[in-house]
Structure 1
Amino acid sequence: MREKVTAVFDIGKTNKKFFLFDKNFQEVYREYTRFENINDEDGYPTEDLERLKIWLKEVFDRILDAKKYNITSINFSTYGASLVHLDENDEVLTPLYNYTKEISKDVIDSFNEKYGPELDFAVTTGSPVSGLLNSGIQLYWLKHTKPEIFKRIKYSLHLPQYISFIFTGIPVSEHTSIGCHTALWDYTNKDYHDWVYKEGINKILPKIVSTETSINMNYNGKRIKIGVGIHDSSAALLPYIRSVRKKFILVSTGTWSIAMNPFSEEALKASDIESSCINYMRINGKAVKASSLFLGNEYKEQVKKLTDHFQVPPEYHKTIRFDHDIYLEIVKDFEYMYRWISFSDDRMPKLTRIPYDQFEHAYHQLMVELVLLQVESIKTVSGKDNIEKLYIDGGFSDNEVYIQLISHYLRNMKLSTTDSSLGSALGAALCISDVRLNSKFLRKNYALKKHVPVIIQ
């Protein structure tokens, strides 16, 4: 008899992944791919949506035809801040605009003038106005700069729901995508913000359904339960919420490093917004206090420069292990040496300065500076809550230098890491399951590792 499994597509900006999980949520199959970006009409790099769609269908149909597994359900986890706009024939109208693309300051100023004051708006919606990083602002931008295209939009779907739509043909919205720095949601009134109704944006946003919704469908002659998709950061959080009994902070790392406190009872304050704190949303609509850093992107850019500077192989940085002596040498007369590319910080110098003659030293310096930013981010979301448990998943969970530094600077917290490849995928699988989890789940399914500080103070 073929094994019953849940399928998950986990779509990151860099890696596109497909997983199969058995009834105990053990991974039984995986495959990865990457695509080159294409350019939008302004020449800005963005996701090749058509190629992604072809790959999704090809992989799923191939696994179904192979008849090795009995796929009973499928769900989708993807990055956020991205919308797919469909016309009345369900055709895609625009490129999947990259959330790092800048839009005219006039558009932002016009929005703030209508719906400000800016700080009050940010507190209410759980996110400052940040251009295309807010999917709501993308809709405002389209309406006021590309009105002919905007008039043709029948539905605007967040990326997780569009991936689901490819398989179901049913357009929906759900809380985790709406709640991730979109500027669409009023966290006080638990509804779309007034501006959404005033601009008529609500008319192209499909009906909101529970993130746990699944649609029973006949797909290629087989009955399959198809989920509506989930934002990847919220997906990564879900297995912890369902299996950990004590309060915790989760840092989900990748292109973005997002520190999340799902237990904060306080509404966001102006001081939180000024400290780069925003709200995400749990699948039940409850706010999650979160602080985002473009840490993975910054790491990638800086390592590229270091690799060129020291003329080492591109993968050399992955071989570096934490060196206690190098660390002590760096912090003895510590000063900031890196100028960031992806964001600004008051302490960064005007120009990057590398006084070291070895890659290892420059790399440790980089990691100390990045981790100090990460520690601030964790402390910000912790607020007044006395939270002792800290989990780190995603790409940096495999980086020994990062982990040793975090465990040193946050010695008051019990640090654990989990398998870097499964976080949001397992969350998406759990989302459409009614299985109850126990405290052993993370150890069994996430290769949970506990860490103790090794740096002597």
Structure 2
Amino acid sequence: MSLPRQIAVIDIGKTNAKVVLIDSRTQHQLATRSTPNTVRRDGIYPHADVEMLWGFIIDSLKAFQAGHGVDGISITTHGATGALIAGDKLAMPVLDYEFDGPETTAAAYGNVRPDFAESLSPRLPNGLNLGAQVYWQSQAFAEDFSRVTAILTYPQYWALRLTGVLASETTSLGCHTDFWAPTHSSFSSMVRRLGWEKLFPDVRPAASVLGAVLPEVAAATGLAADTPVTCGIHDSNASLVPHLGAHKVPFTILSTGTWAIAMTVGGDTSHLDQSRDSLANVDALGSPVPTARFMGGREFDQLVGEISTPSGDDIRRVIEQDIRVQPTFTPGVGPFPHASGLWTKAREDLSAAERTAAASLYLALMTQACLELCGLGREIIIEGPLARNALFAQALAALTGVPVSTSGDATGTSLGASMLFGGGLHHGLAGVAVTPLDVAGFADYAQRWRAAIG
């Protein structure tokens, strides 16, 4: 099969969903459409509005086909989400991973989930372990679960709707689900213990083409009947795809969005701490990647409100007056899951620029803490929205002492997913080198931040 020229990427993040059209030769965006990814509160539990998303996907594909032409479709989504299938329909709604229902069966689940040494997947709150979600669903809705014929991770759910083909895939299975044993490249002992092996379709590479779009999809969008669709990939791992094989290992990719996720390719998994939200992801080639993360994008929005780019004077004032944000404002996740977030100066007394500066420094300090868990690479490449935050990148460069660059394309996730066509191995993208922050007192400021955590 020749490499498709114009690739539509379905990119479903936790906060927003988008469809992006990318030229595979130039790696440039040709068009993009987005919509908020809202959680529905009706029904038996909070769940993804998959029919709204499906309508958005179909409308976007139709518009792109009419305006530009679409030669292939790739898929990437956030993790910790799956679909329970009965035949060719959902057996139950797609559970929102922030819902606390799975906590009601936490004790029983703790008795069946695999050890961290096997899964490299820490026990996380609510439904952040997909295994905990499915276990709760199997107990709370036993009759509905008895009709389940397949368990799909989220990218592969959308692949099913597009192609009619069932598949499993390791980047999503390896995303703190408890379903996968990364060092053995096999399903975990829990899957066997619960008798769920038969519910997982055959594992396919993220870069494999599952098939062409269904006739009804072609009819609704105007796509050619033979338009190919890839198996799909977990979004943080999509950010790794442009860099695999392109840098000396170890190197760190910082994938940002709702989450800030540090992944050190070629790093050592032995320093991971399951009590501090560090784990191993699995890359598109099936290799374990030590990872640590926190909800950086969500915290930044919460802390700042109105974003205002800080001046040099704003930055100096924040450091001189010791205006700090201490972790954490999303309890239960990140490197300090039990800390209680606070400002050292009342937030309402600060200007928008001062809040932006303090929050940017906070994110850099939190990222450095993550790197102490997943390992610091020879270089750091920042992908996603935080690549546009100059102060964050400069502070991170000063804190780590290694070269830092920002992605030349803020849509690293979508671009990486588009590169699944052709096998997913490409030369790395040229980034923009970052000059370390050089402001008097920053090192002492960072030391006070660390000391205050205890």
Pick the TM interval, shorter chain: 0.7 to 0.9
TM-score (norm 1): 0.84
The answer to whether 1:157 aligns with 2:152 is yes
The answer to whether 1:41 aligns with 2:35 is no
CA drift of 1:357 comes to 4.4
For residues 249 and 433 of structure 2, what CA distance do their matches in structure 1 show?
Answer: 16
For residues 268 and 103 of structure 1, what CA distance do their matches in structure 2 show?
Answer: 32
Partner in structure 1 of residue 264 of structure 2 = 261
CA drift of 1:158 comes to 1.1
Partner in structure 2 of residue 12 of structure 1 = 13
Partner in structure 2 of residue 63 of structure 1 = 64
- RMSD over aligned Cα atoms: 2.6
Superposed counterparts of 1:115-134, under 5 Å: 115=113, 121-130=115-124, 131-134=126-129
- Greater Cα shift, 211-220 or 370-379: 211-220
SS at match of 1:176: helix
For residues 77 and 267 of structure 1, what CA distance do their matches in structure 2 show?
Answer: 25
Determine which of 175, 185, 189 is the counterpart of 1:194: 189
CA drift of 1:288 comes to 0.5
Q: Compared with structure 1, are the counterparts of its residues 182 and 397 closer, same or farther at alpha carbon in structure 2 (3 Å cutoff)?
A: same
The answer (yes or no) to whether the contact 1:161–1:171 under 8 Å persists in 2 is yes
State the Cα deviation string for residues 64-97 of structure 1 (Å, max 9, x = none). 3x2743x332111111111112212x12232221
Partner in structure 1 of residue 420 of structure 2 = 431
The answer (yes or no) to whether the contact 1:86–1:153 under 8 Å persists in 2 is yes
Q: What one-letter code is carried by the residue in structure 1 that aligns with 2:389?
A: N
The answer (yes or no) to whether the contact 1:83–1:158 under 8 Å persists in 2 is yes
Determine which of 365, 373, 376 is the counterpart of 2:369: 376
For residues 272 and 216 of structure 1, what CA distance do their matches in structure 2 show?
Answer: 40
SS at match of 2:419: helix
The answer to whether 1:365 aligns with 2:365 is no
TM-score (norm 2): 0.85
CA drift of 1:102 comes to 1.2
SS at match of 1:209: coil
Partner in structure 2 of residue 451 of structure 1 = 434
State the Cα deviation string for residues 176-208 of structure 1 (Å, max 9, x = none). 010001011123432111111121222221111
The answer (yes or no) to whether the contact 1:395–1:420 under 8 Å persists in 2 is no
CA drift of 1:103 comes to 2.5
The answer (yes or no) to whether the contact 1:157–1:173 under 8 Å persists in 2 is yes
Return 5+ residue gaps in structure 2 as ranges: 219-223, 441-454
The answer to whether 1:400 aligns with 2:390 is yes
The answer (yes or no) to whether the contact 1:324–1:455 under 8 Å persists in 2 is no
The answer (yes or no) to whether the contact 1:101–1:132 under 8 Å persists in 2 is yes
For residues 256 and 91 of structure 1, what CA distance do their matches in structure 2 show?
Answer: 30
- Greater Cα shift, 171-180 or 368-377: 368-377
The answer (yes or no) to whether the contact 2:14–2:78 under 8 Å persists in 1 is yes
Determine which of 405, 411, 416 is the counterpart of 1:422: 411
The answer (yes or no) to whether the contact 1:123–1:273 under 8 Å persists in 2 is no
CA drift of 1:354 comes to 0.9
The answer (yes or no) to whether the contact 2:323–2:344 under 8 Å persists in 1 is no
Q: What one-letter code is carried by the residue in structure 1 that aligns with 2:330?
A: S
Partner in structure 1 of residue 235 of structure 2 = 232
Q: Compared with structure 1, are the counterparts of its residues 105 and 76 closer, same or farther at alpha carbon in structure 2 (3 Å cutoff)?
A: closer
For residues 192 and 212 of structure 1, what CA distance do their matches in structure 2 show?
Answer: 20
For residues 90 and 240 of structure 2, what CA distance do their matches in structure 1 show?
Answer: 31
For residues 330 and 85 of structure 1, what CA distance do their matches in structure 2 show?
Answer: 49
State the Cα deviation string for residues 134-181 of structure 1 (Å, max 9, x = none). 111111111112101111111121110011111100110011010001
SS at match of 1:34: strand
CA drift of 1:376 comes to 1.0
The answer (yes or no) to whether the contact 1:236–1:427 under 8 Å persists in 2 is yes
Q: What one-letter code is carried by the residue in structure 2 that aligns with 1:232?
A: D
For residues 23 and 336 of structure 1, what CA distance do their matches in structure 2 show?
Answer: 43
Partner in structure 1 of residue 280 of structure 2 = 279
For residues 251 and 341 of structure 2, what CA distance do their matches in structure 1 show?
Answer: 34
For residues 144 and 45 of structure 2, what CA distance do their matches in structure 1 show?
Answer: 18
Superposed counterparts of 1:161-180, under 5 Å: 161-180=156-175
The answer (yes or no) to whether the contact 2:328–2:340 under 8 Å persists in 1 is yes
Return 5+ residue gaps in structure 1 as ranges: 305-315
